[in-house]
Amino acid sequence: MSLFGTGAFGRVVRSGVGRRRVQTVVIAVATMMAVASAVVAGSLMVAATAPFDHAFNKQQGAHITAQFDPAKASAAQLAETGKLAGVTASAGPYPSTAFRPVDQLGFQMPTLTLVGRSGPDGDVDRVELKSGRWAQKLGEIVLGASFEGPSVEIGSTFKASDAANAPTLTVVGFAVSAGRSADAWATSAQVDALASQGHTVTSQMLYRFDSAGTKRQILADRAKLAASVKSGALLGTQSWLDTKRAADQGAAATVPFVMAFGVLGIVMSVIIVSSVISGAVGTSLRRIGILKAIGFTPREVVRAYVAQALIPAGAGIAVGVVLGNLLAVPLLADTQEMYGTVSLSAAWWVDVAVPAAALLVVGLAALVPALRAGRLHTVEAIAVGRAPRTGRGRWAHRVMGRLPLPRPVTYGLATPFTHPVRALAMLLAVAFGTVAATFAVGLTSSLSAVGASQDPESRAAVTATTIKLDDIAPPAQPEPPAVDDAASPSPVSSSTAGTSRPKVADPAKVRAALKSEAGLKSYYGKLQTEVAVAGVSGSVQASLYEGDSRSGSYDMLSGHWITGRGQVVVPSRFLERTSTKVGDTVRVTYDKETADLRIVGESFDTSGNELEIHADMANFPSAEPSTFLADVKSGVSAAEFAAKLAAVVQPLGGDATTIPPSEQKRVILIMDAMAVLLTVMLVAVAGLGVLNSVVLDTRQRIHDLGICKAIGMSPRQTISLVLASVTAIGVVGGLIGVPAGYALHHVVMPAMGRAVGTRMPSSVLGAYGPAQLVLLGVGGVVIAMLGALVPAGWAAKARTATALRTE
């Protein structure tokens, strides 16, 4: 027995589905688009939360990882902080320092946070030992599991720094801290040994609180810690919320815009399905009456019309699940790389829950008009047939008839008022299609602005380096709104293993050569390096600038760009992770040089979970620029300037070239492509919704069209009549859809920013120009016209005699 029965009932259902081909296609495409978007959004949300939460809870991760100045807070005083109100568990103090080891080939690794612990267990942050054993004596070290690879394994050795007398450390194990409390662990004696060589040592404390689920609660907990010790003793803190977001944001940035399209698709599906079934009921009154006359019960009539919606919806849902899984693959690929165990497909329950919910929504949307069919009286249905109610819309015809327009056009403009419910459904379909188009244009424009804002070096005309560009290994391209790998980079990449150091030019000579070139307008020096920041585990990327670097500054969210010594500009997630604000002071260590810098600005930065700070090079006397970025005077060729400069600096070991145009990152391109695809699907659904309504209306009024043709209306006038019937709907739909799409863009883009730990500047949110908004408004008319074009052609080709015989 089939799902909807056999015999006469099954034939009625199959006949309805096969005979109304437009209705079938519209429902199938609408549900396919909605389900595909929902599957992608659900998959990303699952991938963005489950792995970290499981690991963090298992290890009893620290809600706050705090660094204290041992000169201002003794071990006994710090132990007492574990008894503060609200603290449920604590561990430490552990001695901690930042160091930058050197591998066997002489290459410097990233700056690592080293903590002295006697073992992996504790009341807080129960570090999971993945392989090997724990460090037990001097010269032994345990590294974070993310460093393990062909170049670094158990037994590998490296020096603690590039100093001649730096101790040698041997890797004896690899471990994982879900809360990222450190990058490496050793004995406390080992940390003290490094301190004797000039490394700054701090005291690390780990805390769990009874209330630490929100940023406000974390700030309150941090205030308790700061108040419990001397002023200035608390050097910095790291919140578990920011660690979680850093781990989760591989997929999190994409979720808001995919969900927006999903909601649009679901709402449009409800509108389309309701409209289609309502139209089917309205144009089949005589058929319904006949079905009841031959013995069909009201319940069977309702079931038949619901089934006519569920059958194409089921096909669309099946295709949508497959499409959703395919669309999720490129986004989940980054999350799989991050955690190593995440599947490159939707969670099984997402593939079950979404289709079930979609079927329920379609069924409910079809039920209301189907109930109307079930309540119709048999005699009334047969007598009325397909004729509209007498007198409906006459006032509109009288009003439109006074307009100085051709009669076919005024007739068409008045047509929607004959079937107001159907016209409202068309209006909503056009409006939502316009919303999708407006939102997609803004989204792609904003993503392009994000990509441009994150490459300030491309604004310079010429770059001069202290190393030949051919000797530089291609850097790993960072991903945008937040899909970077949460794991630390491998200390030694395969591309550098076994190679020798390239020749490096003296920065002073490169600078002198640049300044001596005619046509130079301005320049600044830059060093991309790694530093340690008190309170932040692991290395922090730093851009150190020499000279006036305003031309290469990032967009600012608050405060101002650096103007001299003692200042630092940080991204939003730095402020959140360290619970600091503009005006606070942070301790920064470059090699063995330490400086207390005041935060003067909050930069717009979307480099994922990476922290990058910007400071003046004068804060660290040993720092030298590795790159000089220059602008040339008006009328001077940048290519010729770079060629002349290269001829001078290449013999020194350096190089010079023009700045190539920046390329959009892979994930931005994926987001753009997905936005375009989902928008095309939504606009197609909107156009099909209009097509279905116009087909129903044209067929219902075919007798009237026959009369018009009999009295002289030409095929061209017939087309203008049908197109005019949707013109006003297109105009109103555009007027509604453009502001709604604009508002949706201004909701989703900040949500995407929050997902990666930043706010959005006006340069990113200001994605629309007046001309664009006008064209998008015209897009509503285009959607309506395209949807009505096919039935307009069919009406124009209909023979007069055939139309007059149709009742």
Q: Quote the domain boundaries for residue 719.
A: 391-455+668-807
Q: Indicate the burial class of 276 (C-beta count within 10 angstroms; 0-12, 13-18, 19 or more).
A: buried
- Are the C-beta atoms of residues 236 and 89 closer than 8 Å to each other? no
**Residues 375, 227 share a domain:** yes
What pLDDT was estimated at residue 742? Answer: 92
Does some domain include residue 397?
yes
Mean pLDDT for the stretch of residues 380-402: 61
Banded pLDDT at 93 (limits 50, 70, 90): very high
Last residue of a domain, one of 362, 386, 410: 386
Domain boundary among 661, 696, 727: 661
Q: Is residue 221 part of a domain?
A: yes
Residue 146 has what pLDDT? 76
Number of domains in the chain: 4
- Per the listing, tokens 């804060």 go with 619
Q: Of 138, 143, 88, which Cα lies nearest the Cα of 114? A: 143
787: in domain: yes
Q: CA-CA distances (angstroms) from residue 526 to 68, 321, 466, 551?
A: 31, 49, 11, 12
pLDDT in tens, 611-634: 789 999 999 988 889 889 989 888
Find the DSSP H helices in 283-377: 285-293, 298-339, 348-375
Model pLDDT for residues 330-388, shown as the tens digit of each residue: 666 554 444 434 444 556 777 888 888 888 888 887 787 778 777 777 766 665 554 44
Q: What is the C-alpha to C-alpha distance for residues 407 and 33, in angstroms, rounded to an integer?
A: 39
The single-letter DSSP state of residue 108 is B
Asked whether residue 261 is domain-assigned, the answer is: yes
Angle between helices 255-282 and 298-339 (to 10 degrees): 170
| Amino acid identity, position 602 | E
Per-residue confidence at 250, pLDDT binned at 50, 70, 90?
Answer: low
User: Does 330 map to a domain?
Assistant: yes
Q: Are residues 101 and 114 in the same domain?
A: yes
Indicate if 535 and 622 belong to the same structural domain.
yes
Q: Residue 185: its pLDDT value, please?
A: 92
Distance CA 95, CA 115 (A): 6
Q: How far apart are CA 425 and CA 275, in angstroms?
A: 6
The answer to whether residue 31 sits within a structural domain is yes
- Residue range 716-739, pLDDT digits in tens: 887 888 888 888 888 999 999 999
pLDDT in tens, 750-765: 888 877 767 888 888 8
Tell me, yes or no, whether 446 and 507 share the same domain: no
pLDDT tens digits for range 195-204 = 877 778 899 9
The amino acid occupying position 641 is: F
Q: Can you tell me the distance from the alpha carbon of 461 to that of 642, in angstroms, rounded to the nearest whole number?
A: 9
Residue 413 lies in a domain: yes
| 239-258 core/surface letters (b: 16 or more CB in 10 A; e: else) | bbbbbbbbbbbbbbbbbbbb
Q: Letter for the amino acid at 461? A: A
Are residues 15 and 154 located together in one domain of the fold?
no
The whole-number pLDDT of residue 208 equals 93
Quick one: 686 and 766 in the same domain?
yes
CB count in 10 Å sphere of residue 498: 8
How confident is the model at residue 1, as a pLDDT? 40
Please tell me whether residues 219 and 362 are part of one structural domain: yes
* Same domain membership, residue 220 and residue 266: yes
Of the three residues 386, 413, 429, the one that is the final residue of a domain is: 386
Confidence of residue 805 (pLDDT cuts 50, 70, 90): low
Q: 776 and 676: one domain?
A: yes
- Give the residue from 789, 785, 806 showing the smallest Cα distance to 705: 806
**pLDDT score recorded for residue 728:** 87
The verdict on 146 and 99 lying in the same domain is yes
Query: What distance in Å separates the CA atoms of residue 193 and residue 6, rounded to the nearest whole number?
Result: 85
Q: Report CA torsion sign: 369, 370, 376, 380.
A: positive
Say how far apart CA 328 and CA 336 lie, in whole Å: 12
Whether 262 and 342 map to the same domain: the answer is yes
For residues 644 and 475, is the Cβ–Cβ distance under 8 A?
A: no
* Inter-residue contact 731 to 780 (CB < 8 Å): yes
517 occurs within a structural domain: yes
- Residue that is written with structure tokens 């910007």 in the block: 614
* Domain match, 344 and 195 both: no
Per cent of the chain over pLDDT 90 is 11
Side-chain-facing half-sphere of 543: CA atoms under 13 Å = 26
pLDDT at 660: 59
